[in-house]
Structure 1
Amino acid sequence: MNLLVICQYYYPEPFRITDICESLVEKGHDVTVLTGLPNYPEGKILENYRRGKKRNEIINGVKVVRTFEIGRGTTKFQLFLNYISYTLSASIKAFNLKEKFDVVLVNQLSPVMMAIPAIVYKKKYNRKILLYCLDLWPASLIAGGIKEGSIFYKLFFIISKWIYSSVDSIAVTSSMFKEYFKSKLFMNIENIQHIPQYAEDIFAEIEEKKENRKFNFVFAGNIGEMQSVETIVKAANEMKEKNNIMFHIVGDGSKLEECIVLSKKFKLNNIIFYGRKPINEMPQYYSFADAMLITLKNDKTISYTLPGKVQSYMAAHKPIIGSINGETRRVIKEAGCGYCCDADDYKELSKIILEFCDSNQQKLMGANGYDYYIKNYSKKSFISTLEESLIKLGG
């Protein structure tokens, strides 16, 4: 099968689509990725990709075609320019692609407009599209502070519905996404299937934590508006007198500096910020964790989401402590792999962390999470299901 993948983000940016594409190549498929210029999450185009460099690469068997985009920057206006520039340049590039692919896969994060180049290609060559939805639109706008009744929201409601209606099949990462498509976008959900994310293989090979006298709690991932990492900082402040508890924040994003400033304001000695680390270094941070942390903003639309870090935490045999609502909370409870409290509730988060420290079920929680991962989120199952869906569309 000759597959065209469209996603604004790709290696060296830290997204799972890179592993997916390389896995499809290993299965014998030809994969070409139409993507942008690496600038996530720092907001600046990497130096070795500027001035027309590295526009065509082959990375681990995947053909990577890069098109122009403006860096994300640090402001909402710059981010808007980033979204629009990629959509326009990738649409032109897609229209001018001479190769006829069997099927198109869109790995749809934010913005939803990254799917437009696929629709352009579809209309020219009459090829079908499978859209893998990781971020709900226009719901993501509300989570970012846009009011539902605003003209901006209404415009993107129309755009989002048109995009989702223009593809041939949709796969979603969270089972609750289906309800959103049905109740908010008023769409038929017969062609929507649930394909949850998986964890890269390296997370299942993490060595067991060495015994020490401290409890270590690790958050790993993007530190943005939706992740509400400030909830962890505030919880750390509640426990600043507990000398046996440490918090470790591994990642980068638009809210990192704000969280660092907050920790300095509280004069905290029990929290460490490591910044962004490459995926091959992540196991060392997971290894010393007694439990992993997950926080999300207190927002109904965000509660539909099941972040990919949940699968990574489970694959690593780690208990999960969450300040979250909705789908993620349901999964943790169903798996029996940790403790949860309401989103943004830092006082309750500090309480359940202390409860975890006193528990004799810590290893059992980690084992429960891993068992749940194997049954529901294995990489083998994901690739197999995705491959079957693509072959069905392209056949």
Structure 2
Amino acid sequence: MNLLIISFFYKPDLSAGSFRTTALVESLKRNYPDAKVDVITTLPNRYSDFAEECKKFEYDGNVTIYRADVSTRFSGILGQIISFFFFFFFTLKIIMGRNYTHIYATSSRLMTAFLGAIVSFLKKVPLYLDIRDIFIDTVEDVFPKKMTFLVLPILSIIEKFTINRAQIVNVVSRGFLPYFEKKYKNKNYRFFTNGIDAIFLDQYNKYTCHKCNDPLVVVYAGNFGDGQGLHKIIPQLAKRLEGQVLFQLIGNGGRKGELEQTLNNLNVNNVQLLPPVNRAELLKYYDHADILFLHLNDYDAFKKVIPSKIFEYACYNKPIWGGLSGYIVDFIDENMESAHVFHPCDVDDAINKFNEIDFEVRPREAFIHKYTRRNIMDALADDLIELKHY
């Protein structure tokens, strides 16, 4: 049994895709030691100011990891396109002369999934797709209209080929299902979500029922991109809460400059912008926080997602304060207590929900049991191994 796993991000990079694929590979190593697994990925590139040393080629028991160098002097959309072409041709070079029984590709931006479909077609083997975002929705919301007019017809053809090529399509949020089921009927759909990694699991028994800091420390960790929309909420929100709250924002991204500029224009002095850190260091910030914050921009595309950050935050017996809308609001209502949700980019609503925060937070044991990453990835690995029967 020879498996090929294609993931643009992998450990030690910092991203939801990296954590997810790493957990899947660990499951395959643990439960299927006789399987030969090739992982094609990249050297760490998610954040320009965070990089951990790793090898381009790595052997780990029954797993071989091939990492492409996709670094480029270009940034923005052009830089992402060039990086993907590096990854694309690197992948084609690696697979030459190799035979596989299964192919798994995980993608948030469609193109890695498309690459998996191409390899599946070339090798004439079944494809298991893991979809972490609806890229066409995101393009429609985020990109300029002139660009989407030209790009969307091409992306639609790519998406159609990709989904139709797959034997199984997993979506990380049930909010995605109506989109795919309407366009692609009679597919085998799965729903293996993101989950809670082992490094966070020992946090839920730290019972915290009081405010620890004055002013209150509100922590956000993640990307500073258009999808998160921090530049649209944090400056005005922080200004309104001066003297009450200190925001610690950990990460980087394409909208960091705009965020910094707006903070300076409003003379905000209670926001700390901190560089990305590894997960061991991140635990210290979470431990010190009074409130854990997240936010998604007010776009239709983000009304279908489950932010992976919610699984980390759930382990801490601390209030979660977030700007969210759509499916995730129902998901939180059904599965989690002590989450105070306001409408994205709405400062007044955010203030109202802040004033309602109750610091008497009980451990979210049921949620943690249900969404432990190891259990989810073990089930996904079993499903992947059975792919040959479809």
TM-score by length of 2: 0.88
The CA deviation at 1:132 is 0.8
Name the structure 2 match of 1:394.
388
Corresponding position of 2:228: 227
User: For structure 1, which runs of at least 5 residues remain unmatched after alignment?
Assistant: none
Distance 2:311 2:339 in 1: 13
Please give the root-mean-square deviation of Cα atoms over the aligned residues, in Å: 2.5
Q: Any idea what SS the aligned residue of 1:159 has?
A: helix
Do structure 1's residue 187 and structure 2's residue 184 form an aligned pair?
Answer: yes
Q: Is the 8 A contact 1:33 1:65 kept in 2?
A: yes
Asked if 1:355 corresponds to 2:356, the answer is yes
Q: How far did 1:286 drift? A: 0.9
Aligned 8 A contact 2:4 2:103 in 1: yes
Q: Which amino acid aligns with 2:138?
A: S
Which residue identity lines up with residue 297 of structure 1 in the other structure? N
**Is the counterpart of residue 87 in structure 1 residue 88 in structure 2?**
yes
Which letter does structure 2 place at the counterpart of 1:232?
Answer: I
Match of 1:19 in 2: 23
Letter in 2 for 1:153: L
1:97 CA displacement: 4.4
**Unaligned regions of 5+ residues in structure 2, if any?**
none
Find the aligned partners of 1:267 and 1:39 in 2 and give their Cα distance: 32
User: More displaced, 306-315 or 10-19?
Assistant: 10-19
Partner of 1:37: 43
- Check conservation: 2:197, 2:374, Cα contact below 8 A: no
Question: Matches of 2:60 and 2:262 in 1, distance apart?
Answer: 40
What's the counterpart of residue 194 of structure 2? 197
Decide whether the 8 Å contact of 1:200 with 1:379 is kept in 2.
Answer: yes
Q: Is the 8 A contact 1:198 1:308 kept in 2?
A: yes
Amino acid at match of 1:129: L
> After superposition, what is the alpha-carbon deviation per residue over 1:19-76, rounded to whole angstroms, capped at 9, x for unaligned?
33223212234432111232212299x6978xxxx43113586421123535384222
Greater relative contact order (Cα < 8 A, sep 6+): 2
Match of 1:275 in 2: 275
Cα distance in 2 for residues equivalent to 1:313 and 1:143 = 27
SS in 1 for 2:223: coil
Determine if contact 1:217/1:293 at 8 Å carries over to the other structure: yes
Task: Tell me which amino acid in the other structure corresponds to 2:283.
Answer: P
What corresponds to 2:255 in structure 1?
A: 255
One of 335, 356, 373 as aligned partner of 2:368: 373
Question: Structure 1 residues 225-234 or 80-89, which shifts more?
Answer: 80-89
Give the structure 1 partner of residue 131 of structure 2: 133
Question: For residue 103 of structure 2, what is the aligned residue in structure 1?
Answer: 104
The aligned amino acid for 1:295 is H
Q: How does 1:139-150 map to 2 (within 5 A)?
A: 139-147=137-145, 150=149
Quick check: 6-15 or 57-66, which moved more?
A: 57-66
Matching of residue 117 in structure 1 with residue 115 in structure 2:
yes
Amino acid at match of 1:203: F
The residue type paired with residue 5 of structure 1 is: I
Match of 1:385 among 362, 367, 379: 379
Alpha-carbon displacement from aligned partner over 1:103-155 (angstroms, at most 9, x marks no partner): 11111122x12123323332343321111111212122123324396021121
Contact 2:319 / 2:339 at 8 angstroms: preserved in 1?
Answer: yes
| Amino acid paired to 1:122 | S
